[in-house]
Amino acid sequence: MRVLVAEDDPSVAAALSGALTRAGYSCTRVARGAEVLERYRDFELLMLDLGLEDMDGIEVLRILREHSDLPVIVVTARDDERSTVQALRLGADDYLVKPLRLHELLARISAVTRRYAREVSKQLVIGDLRIDPEAQRVSVQGEEVRLTPTEFALVAELARKAGSAVSREHLVARVWGDDYPAESRTFDVHLAQIRNKLPMLSIVTIRGFGFRLEQAEAVQPAPER
């Protein structure tokens, strides 16, 4: 697994990366928040210190969560309750205070990555419609509906947040990337195609903000087979 280690103290970064490498992980070290935001897509886990060279780790986490569900474990010297609660509310998956205990750290990494693996493979059911993220397949009453990869990514992202308002910027960033213009007509074309292919979905437009996939009460993990 590729791990991005964001740590401004070179000695701590070296020790942490060395321990993770010996445990079988592939580590890359950065010391600046801007580097995290530029490179996070190439990794499967972020170890985030809150005291980076150019910006606070809390701010890095806030920006990251606007665009990505990348698993994040905060590793910091801050042991106050305010920082812990703030980081977790912003979407950190775990919060560890230095000095670290190696075996505990490895156990926490395993727990976080297992949880994400379950989420990624989880199927969603909305009425007669089933979304299988792992197989990249959408079906209605058992009949597959052919979507392009982009259409599928857009439907899956809306379904994961069904019942909640999702900004247009978030959807564009998740499907096309951060550098893609949120106002692009391409987005509207794909959304129109989805509405045409899946007319049973109620995708409400929230003027000036984004969209909401309705029928949240019907969205649930598919039963085990």
Per-residue pLDDT tens digits for 80-129? 999 998 988 888 888 999 888 888 899 889 888 877 766 666 778 887 88
CATH architecture type of domain 2-121: 3-Layer(aba) Sandwich (3.40)
Is the Cβ–Cβ distance between 6 and 49 less than 8 Å? yes
Residue ranges of the domains in the chain?
2-121, 124-213
Question: Was domain 124-213 assigned CATH 1.10.10.10?
Answer: yes
Q: Tell me, what amino acid is at 19?
A: A
The pLDDT mean for the chain works out to 86
- Tokens (6 digits) for 194: 């989805």
In the Cβ-directed half-sphere of 37, how many Cα atoms lie within 13 Å?
A: 21
pTM of the complete model beyond 0.75: no
